[in-house]
């Protein structure tokens, strides 16, 4: 290590300049100009509700325009008809067609947005830490060891995924946005919470920021008083949507030196890369970016949700995991689509997700079996569908917590009635005649106490009587 210079690998189109297209630019995208008028009108209507942003690299290198609209990357980045209720879509297209006043269009859009469950899994009510009765902006602390931090300068992305569960961050719903513009609050919080081991920078995408801005946040975590912070993670889609962030951007070398510095300071630096389809890993630029990241000592872990129209096949996942391993990255998670935004359009039932996961899992070697899932990031924690079994003549889902608000729940198996249509934890019923799942009463007590603000709202201070007899250290 200790390198002061990085040599940019040969990569196709390594001189490409970043150019973003948003809703107002739809008509200027040459490939979109060829689509029928009704499809373009639908895109304008859907993108009034859900965020839309794409760039030239995604358009030119990742989308197969001979296979539109079925192409998975097109489905993942461009608005689609099925993402809104048909009645809502008709209402919006009518308003747009007759050039309705902006205030009427905006009011209609807000009404639709507020009906799409903008913050699932208790993100606002239960995850935001509070100190002395005041919330800490731009932070979430759901699990004992991990704090999520949302830097304000990272509240956009190089391109948007149409299924993004954090879509409210990008549509002007400021009252629902997580963001912080200073590291002091984060550092002070971490000084008081020695149980935290890992900080995850997320957004948006923290790698949309200039390296100098990101460096200020990260170097604050290298404070000798924060030696208990052993892991720094960056949640990003840049490796897929803009690999030139690590290749030819003006501060790409500075970014890599920052990664290397963290590694030499004894911190586990991880790039949490969001790959949804094998094609995102197949371009020379994408592969060169991964090599440069790995050369710094940083680790790349890969995760994505399973989505209809995009990757709902065992072949797609097996191919993706194999390629990740080949390129030196670590398959990490398959997630279930969160119950927000256009979930109905992308829904894959839990039973089908379990089938796809295990079929793909059987096709790969042990090197790729680091992956976990399919997992739901639900209010109580990350719930994995471990399998389907028949016990005492009853067909059931076998479930476990991969992570939980109460660490004592992790790894504990529990059972739900098999339901081929269920797509989220709240759709499931306990098996074997039980009235509730084992964690439900504890969660009710936790919510009641938490929402009444009778104690500092953070999961590291949960009383044992609320969530089991837990040793928090």
CA distance 113 to 83: 12
Domain chopping of the chain, boundaries: 20-114, 130-461
How high is the pLDDT of residue 169? 65
Can you tell me the distance from the alpha carbon of 394 to that of 263, in angstroms, rounded to the nearest whole number? 50
Phi, psi of 297 (to 5 degrees): 95, -5
Angle at 33 between CA 32 and CA 38, to 5 degrees: 80
- What pLDDT is recorded for position 335? 96
| pTM of structure | 0.88
Residue identified by tokens 């976990």 is 372
Residue 121 burial by Cβ neighbours in a 10 Å radius (0-12, 13-18, 19+): buried
* CA angle in degrees (0–180, nearest 5) for 211-214-219: 115
Tokens linked to 430: 């306990």
In the chain, what is the greatest distance between 2 CA atoms, to the nearest angstrom? Answer: 64
- Looking at residue 125, what is its pLDDT? 59
Rounded Cα–Cα distance for residues 253 and 128 (Å) = 34
Q: Which residues pair with 236 in a beta bridge?
A: 273
CA–chain centroid gap for 447, Å, is: 24
Residue 469 has a pLDDT of 29
Per-residue model confidence (pLDDT) at position 226: 96
Cβ–Cβ under 8 Å, residues 15 and 248:
yes
Report strand pairing: 330-336 vs 130-131: unpaired
Mean pLDDT by 10 residues, the chain (473 residues): 43 68 94 94 94 96 96 97 94 96 94 78 64 78 92 90 75 48 83 95 93 94 95 98 97 98 95 98 98 97 97 98 98 91 92 98 98 95 97 96 95 97 96 96 84 42 33 24
To which H or E segment does residue 320 belong?
helix 314-326
* E-only strand ranges, 251-360: 268-274, 299-306, 330-336
Give 112's strand partners: none
Q: Where does 130-461 sit in CATH, by number?
A: 3.20.20.70
Burial 160-185 (b: 16+ CB within 10 A, else e): bbbbbbbbbbbbeeeebbbbbeebeb
Q: Within 13 A of 25's CA, how many CA atoms are on the CB side?
A: 13
């Amino acid at each position: 290590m200790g390198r002061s210079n990085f040599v940019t690998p040969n990569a196709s189109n390594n001189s490409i300049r970043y150019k973003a297209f948003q809703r107002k630019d739809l008509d200027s995208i040459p490939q979109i100009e060829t689509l029928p008028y009704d499809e373009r009108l639908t895109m304008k209507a859907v993108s009034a509700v859900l965020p839309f942003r794409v760039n030239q690299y995604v358009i030119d290198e990742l989308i197969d325009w001979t296979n539109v609209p079925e192409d998975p990357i097109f489905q993942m980045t461009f608005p689609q008809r099925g993402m809104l209720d048909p009645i809502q879509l008709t209402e919006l297209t009518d308003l747009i067609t007759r050039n309705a006043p902006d205030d009427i269009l905006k009011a209609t859009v807000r009404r639709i947005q507020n009906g799409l469950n903008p913050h699932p899994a208790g993100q606002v009510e239960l995850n935001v830490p509070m100190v002395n009765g005041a919330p800490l902006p731009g932070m979430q602390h759901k699990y004992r060891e991990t704090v999520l931090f949302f830097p304000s300068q990272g509240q956009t992305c190089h391109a948007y995924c149409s299924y993004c569960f954090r879509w409210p961050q990008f549509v002007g719903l400021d009252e629902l946005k997580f963001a912080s513009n200073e590291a002091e609050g984060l550092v002070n919080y971490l000084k008081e919470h020695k149980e935290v081991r890992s900080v995850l920078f997320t957004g948006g995408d923290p790698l949309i920021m200039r390296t100098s801005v990101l460096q200020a946040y990260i170097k604050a975590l290298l404070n000798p008083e924060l030696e208990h912070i052993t892991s720094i993670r960056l949640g990003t889609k840049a490796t897929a949507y803009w690999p030139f962030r690590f290749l030819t951007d003006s501060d790409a070398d500075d970014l890599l030196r920052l990664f290397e510095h963290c590694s030499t300071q004894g911190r586990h630096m991880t790039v949490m890369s969001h790959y949804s389809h094998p094609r995102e890993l197949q371009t020379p630029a994408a592969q060169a970016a991964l090599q440069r990241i790995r050369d710094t000592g940083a680790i790349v872990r890969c995760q994505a949700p399973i989505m209809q129209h995009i990757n709902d096949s065992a072949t797609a996942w097996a191919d993706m995991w194999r390629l990740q391993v080949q390129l030196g990255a670590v398959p990490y998670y398959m997630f279930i689509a969160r119950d927000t935004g256009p979930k109905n359009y992308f829904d894959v039932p839990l039973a089908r997700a379990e089938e796809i996961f295990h079929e793909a899992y059987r096709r790969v070697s042990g090197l790729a079996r680091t992956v976990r899932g399919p997992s739901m990031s639900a209010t109580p924690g990350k719930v994995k569908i471990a399998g389907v079994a028949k016990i005492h003549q009853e067909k059931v889902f076998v479930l476990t917590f991969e992570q939980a608000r109460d660490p004592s729940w992790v790894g504990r198996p529990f059972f739900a009635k098999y339901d081929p249509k269920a797509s989220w934890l709240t759709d499931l019923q306990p098996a074997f005649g039980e009235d509730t799942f084992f964690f439900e009463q504890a969660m009710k007590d936790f919510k009641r106490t938490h929402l009444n603000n009778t104690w500092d709202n953070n999961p590291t201070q949960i009383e044992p009587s609320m969530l089991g007899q837990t040793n928090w250290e």
